Amino acid sequence: MTEVRRIYPWDKLGLAEVKALLAREGLGLDEHLDYTAGLWEGEQLVATGSFYRNTLRCLAVDQGYQGEGLMARMVSHLVDELFQRGQRELFIYTKKDAAKSFTSLGFYEIAALDEVVFLESRRNGFENYLKRLERPDLPENARIGAVVMNANPFTLGHRWLVEQAARRCDALHLFMVSEDVSAFPRAVRDQLIRAGTADLPHVYCHPTGPYLVSSATFPSYFIRESDALTLAHARLDAAVFARIARELHITDRFVGEEPLSPATALYNRAMQELLPLAGVQLTIFPRKSDDGTTPISASRVRALLKEDNLPAIRPLVPETTYAFLESEEGQRIAQALREKP
């Protein structure tokens, strides 16, 4: 008789068994997981599964027990646990040869590459997201651009990128990262982006939802992983963007060069590989600097906030961002940064 048990981070023996089972199936254990469970028959671990936020991962069934419905049982256990935690939109990324087993369990494919497939639990979730995106009425030969940004917070570097992109296009779609894991909450980042670009014509702001630069598609944007895994996640995120580009007739994607962030540099590399296949031209702009050498970046602004040096921030951000940083809410965020080790 089999039973499902949770495996806690301090259970070294249980985790060793999970790692061994995953290794036999050609998988590894993600370093960043919120929950892991195992399915035992007696003393033998015969199946395992985990999740991080609302994404199922590290799912495997022992070769000797495949075909007995154990994967369905493991997925059902994880889904029940996520539902109890209030999660209703669920995602899986898995090896391509395992994707069929998840579509049979009620998951739907969003994007697929040779090494990974991205699926969600809602039948028309991604299609409904695409339908909600605002789009201008333009002729067929229009040049339509896109920018994706986290803006934690929105700086003059972000503003410069949007200006350069908008100048080259008949319309520019600006996708604001929805994942709420940054120092500046999503609602604040959205507010600062919209305020900082309000005077620019033909710029259309959209939330990315869970589909772009999220812990589902591109967790290495938020957590440190190996270059190979980062590149796989980046390629997956680029593949999702390619679907959005087809829907909105996007012809150009604009990004800033990334001399300081290895993960984002790999993301740019993945886009250079995949976007031309979708008919999208990638343009990489040099980073804007205030002194000719030092890039204006959100991380630089956060570091100055941590030092309580607002005057040094003023030449790095638009007036709209600076006014927010001076506000009571802005000062609360700055205080939280200073208190963070």
pLDDT tens, position by position, 60-74: 999 999 989 999 999
**How many other C-beta atoms are found inside a 10 Å radius of the C-beta of residue 226?**
10
Q: Given the structure tokens 């790999």, which residue do they identify?
A: 266
| Amino acid, res. 81 | E
Q: In angstroms, rounded to a whole number, what is the distance separating the alpha carbons of residues 215 and 104?
A: 24
% of the chain surpassing 70 pLDDT: 95
Mean local confidence (pLDDT), 151-174 = 97
Q: Between 249 and 230, whose confidence is greater?
A: 249
Name the segment(s) of the chain with CATH classification 3.40.50.620. Answer: 135-339
Q: Which of 93, 46, 50 is nearest to 66 (CA)?
A: 46
Give the pLDDT score at 323: 98
Give the pLDDT score at 216: 59
Give the pLDDT score at 191: 98
Give the pLDDT score at 237: 83
Confidence class for position 28, pLDDT limits 50, 70, 90? confident
Mean local confidence (pLDDT), 183-204 = 97
Confidence class for position 273, pLDDT limits 50, 70, 90? confident
Torsion angle (degrees, nearest 10) of CA 102, 108, 111, 117:
-10
Confidence class for position 180, pLDDT limits 50, 70, 90? confident
315 pLDDT above the threshold of 80: yes
Strands 55-61 and 91-94: parallel
Q: In angstroms, rounded to a whole number, what is the distance separating the alpha carbons of residues 172 and 267?
A: 20
Architecture of domain 2-123: 3-Layer(aba) Sandwich (3.40)
Q: Given the structure tokens 């700055």, which residue do they identify?
A: 334
| Amino acid, res. 205 | C
Name the segment(s) of the chain with CATH classification 3.40.630.30. Answer: 2-123
Give the pLDDT score at 224: 52
List the structure tokens of 277: 């296949």
Residue pair 177/208 in contact (Cβ under 8 Å)? The answer is yes
pLDDT tens, position by position, 215-247: 655 555 445 556 776 777 778 888 899 999 999
List the structure tokens of 17: 């068994």
Give the pLDDT score at 293: 82
Fold assignment, 135-339: Rossmann fold (3.40.50)
263 pLDDT above the threshold of 90: no
Report the SS3 class of residue 315: helix
Give the pLDDT score at 94: 79
Q: What is the value of pTM for the model shown?
A: 0.89
